[in-house]
Structure 1
Amino acid sequence: MMDMETSTSFHDFLNRMRHPSSLDLVRSIKSFIVSFSFYQPKPENDGKKVQDFFLSMEAAIRDHPLWTTSSEEDIDCALEGLEKYIMTKLFSRTFSSSLEDEKIDNEISEKICLLQTFLKPQHLDIPPSLHNEPSWLLAEKELLKMNAFKAPHEKVMCIMNCCRVINNLLLNAATSEHVPTGADEFLPVLIYVTIKASSLWVHFTLAFDTNFFLLIFHFQANPPKLHSNLKFIKLYRRQAKLISEAEYYFTNLVSAKSFIVDLNAKSLSMDEIKFEENMQAAKLTNKVTSESSSTCQLNQQEKNECSFFQVLNNRSNYPYMEAKSKELTVGDVDTLLNHYKDLVAKHTILCKAISFLSTSEREPLLRHLEKQGAGTLILQHHGINTDTCDPHPQQDN
């Protein structure tokens, strides 16, 4: 429901912005986006600039002929569309914009990763009546969606959906178990859900044989960039909308994050010595797992590269490589056409595979391909000058 409503608001906003009479609004929006990038990131100042712009645009929209006869709901939809448009354009400039934010995100992620290995519901004094694994998993799933969105409103809705699942769990327990539930029970469950939330992430690395180019592997990750997501919402969600239920649930997740940051043995129903033993054991386990995973990935990558270049250097796969036109017969046309189609298909898949890699992963691979005589078209496809070997990434339209 959230996705449909948000999508409708956004597309309606874009459609109205295409109307000739909205040219003044479009100019204001574009001018703000361009001017915003002139300054160094300063989160608190940036947040104020964005909030002030939202207020000025709200006044402009209310007075604009396109919305003269509109209801409050229509105007609110326009403002939601405006927020999504602005913050999507400014996302890379405003989200996790400081090294300090990245550091805090990493520290929280590492701590959650350790706690996931041993934390139980009883450590947070969660009563048995609230031990409901399906509900917890559903709440975790909603929370994990938050990092996939760029608009503050959509991130808030992920938090609200997560918290509503927990709230429904409490209400059902109160009805069926006849036990009182409230804020004292809500926050511990939210903390537990936040710690236990994990998701399958997909990472692409290049592999090759005569048929396939991609090797896909998965790894577990806890809620990504929790601190940065909460800070982003606080700074850039329209202040008039971060109220009531949304504010209550958002504040609870902020409290859950703070609890996790400060968490120690005294925070839990656990002996201090036992807590430290569990943390140390988790650190050791994670270190071994990380090293083992890195070794496996390195070995697989070397194996893939070896396979790739063995196939590439096997001229029998391309029998016409050294042929001259006068040596060809009419009977060779079908074979050549099939080879051409096969080559185009592989080139397309390879380019798509490379597009998933980061810049630091992509450029060394492209250089290697070029040295092997296979990379010229791929280098050009990715905007790298093959004459100078200087990277000139193509700009997105």
Structure 2
Amino acid sequence: MDFFRSGLSPSPSNRRRAVEENDNSQEDESADNQDRNQFSYYFMLRTGKVLDLNIPQQTKNFIFRVRGSKEDINIRSKEVQMFYSFMTKKIKNFPYFEGWKQESIDDVVVGMERFVMVNIYANVFNPPSDREKNDAIDCKIRSLHWILPKHLDFTLPSDNENSDRQLALAQYYLLELNKKRSPHDKIACIVLCCKALHDLFNLAHDKAAGADELLPMLIYTIIVAAPPNLYATTQYIDRFLPPEALTSGETGYNFTNICCALQFLENISPDKLSLSPEEFDHFMEGHSSHLEEALSTKFASGLLDNINRVKECEDKVRQLQSYHDKLRNNTEQLQVDITKHKAEVHKSLSEMRAKFSSLEEEMAKLLTS
């Protein structure tokens, strides 16, 4: 494949000449060159260094290749991972990185990965092979709005401003998942969501939460927030985040937890909840007599607050629209008044000119008589 043909790095003199040419022609550079060098600009902003000129072109070629590919999503995933590996070696062998800390080089590599994924996101996120299952799980999660913490065998902390904040944060980060395009940014939202739940548990019990405590809280957070495309998101992360990021550490642990929570919700049954099969069927049929109780729980308080804020925002929007309409009407009336006043001024001036001309004629007659 084209992107595995590694060219030689430019010599120092060539690099200097490239920098000078870039400085001299920056203002009149064509749109095509700007697109070709987009990654170069990104790289320079991140590092203050000029990148090997082969790297941005190879990156652009690869992005266009994936965009035009009709291959199965798993094949495209393997190609992306191979490109990561190829480009990571090329970046790490770049001469300017000599003496850099490994963390700084890793940051540049992650920047390259983000750049690639943001540009191919629309072509690889939630492919046709995932959509039916993704939509079914989204629908299933929304149908479980009646579930309370007691059904998952955990209790919420007492009324506390800090705990409410952590609950709201956990929901917020789950909802942010669908707005992010890079797998790095999506997994960061999952980590922050789990961190908020860990902090919540610590506030309630003054100790760290283990997997047995975190999982039911995470399941309930997913039910309350109902983030769209959650299955598609986990598949996207699994396919396109570098494998080493998910094999160990905090990131891997939290990703495993959200996958387990999703599997639990997909295969939920009465024996997994603290209620009878009859109650389960009753609630699944829509007879949620305790919905008010569900909405009044502290865990859902963030949701209620958000609903109230939305209503407040809608009222403010209506007020602003009313003010806008009044301002527009006043502006139109002012334009009419200005036009009318302008016409009156012109008329007065014309009358004054006529009177002045008449006076001039009378003065001329008197002077000649």
What does residue 184 of structure 2 align with? 153
- Give me the whole-angstrom Cα distance separating, in 2, the residues matched to 1:125 and 1:41: 45
Residue 10 of structure 1 contacts residue 80 of structure 1 at CA under 8 Å; is this kept in 2? no
Residue 43 of structure 2 contacts residue 51 of structure 2 at CA under 8 Å; is this kept in 1? no
Match of 2:132 among 83, 88, 103: 103
What does residue 278 of structure 2 align with? 273
Paired AA for residue 222 in structure 2: T
What does residue 239 of structure 1 align with? 243
Match of 2:73 among 40, 43, 54: 43
Residue 155 of structure 1 contacts residue 233 of structure 1 at CA under 8 Å; is this kept in 2? yes
- Give me the whole-angstrom Cα distance separating, in 1, the residues matched to 2:241 and 2:167: 27
Paired AA for residue 103 in structure 1: E
Distance 1:71 1:162, change over 3 A: same
Match of 2:171 among 140, 143, 155: 140
Match status 1:67 vs 2:103: no
- Give me the whole-angstrom Cα distance separating, in 1, the residues matched to 2:117 and 2:195: 26
Structure 2 residue runs without a partner (length 5+):
1-38, 289-331, 333-341, 345-369
Residue 169 of structure 2 contacts residue 196 of structure 2 at CA under 8 Å; is this kept in 1? yes
Runs of 4+ deviating beyond 6 Å: 16-19
Match of 2:141 among 112, 126, 142: 112
Distance 1:11 1:266, change over 3 A: farther
Displacement of 1:81 in angstroms is 0.8
Residue 147 of structure 1 contacts residue 229 of structure 1 at CA under 8 Å; is this kept in 2? yes
Report Cα offsets for 1:44-67 as digits up to 9, x if no partner: 111111111011101100111232
Displacement of 1:140 in angstroms is 0.9
Name the SS for the 2:68 alignment partner.
coil
Displacement of 1:17 in angstroms is 9.1
Residue 139 of structure 1 contacts residue 162 of structure 1 at CA under 8 Å; is this kept in 2? yes
- Alpha carbon RMSD of aligned pairs, Å? 3.7
Report Cα offsets for 1:73-98 as digits up to 9, x if no partner: 22111111111110011001110011
Displacement of 1:70 in angstroms is 2.2
Name the SS for the 1:193 alignment partner.
helix
Aligned length: 264
Residue 198 of structure 2 contacts residue 209 of structure 2 at CA under 8 Å; is this kept in 1? no
Distance 1:15 1:95, change over 3 A: same
- Give me the whole-angstrom Cα distance separating, in 2, the residues matched to 1:10 and 1:157: 25
Name the SS for the 2:251 alignment partner.
helix
What does residue 154 of structure 2 align with? 126
Paired AA for residue 171 in structure 2: E
Report Cα offsets for 1:301-360 as digits up to 9, x if no partner: xxxxxxxxxxxxxxxxx9xxxxxxxxxxx849xxxxxxxxxxxxxxxxxxxxxxxxxxxx
Displacement of 1:37 in angstroms is 2.7
Tell me which protein shows more strand as a share of its residues.
Answer: 1
- Give me the whole-angstrom Cα distance separating, in 2, the residues matched to 1:256 and 1:56: 34
Residue 41 of structure 1 contacts residue 94 of structure 1 at CA under 8 Å; is this kept in 2? no
Report Cα offsets for 1:205-256 as digits up to 9, x if no partner: xxxxxxxxxxxxxxxxx20100011111111112222231100000100000
% same residue: 28
Distance 1:172 1:29, change over 3 A: same
- Give me the whole-angstrom Cα distance separating, in 1, the residues matched to 2:205 and 2:217: 15
Displacement of 1:10 in angstroms is 11
Tell me which protein shows more helix as a share of its residues.
Answer: 2
Question: TM-score, with normalisation over the residues of structure 1?
Answer: 0.59
Paired AA for residue 153 in structure 1: H
Residue 10 of structure 1 contacts residue 81 of structure 1 at CA under 8 Å; is this kept in 2? no
Displacement of 1:127 in angstroms is 3.2
Match status 1:183 vs 2:211: yes
Residue 17 of structure 1 contacts residue 26 of structure 1 at CA under 8 Å; is this kept in 2? no
Question: TM-score, with normalisation over the residues of structure 2?
Answer: 0.63
Q: Which stretch shifts more, 153-162 or 266-275? A: 266-275
Displacement of 1:24 in angstroms is 0.6
What does residue 43 of structure 2 align with? 13
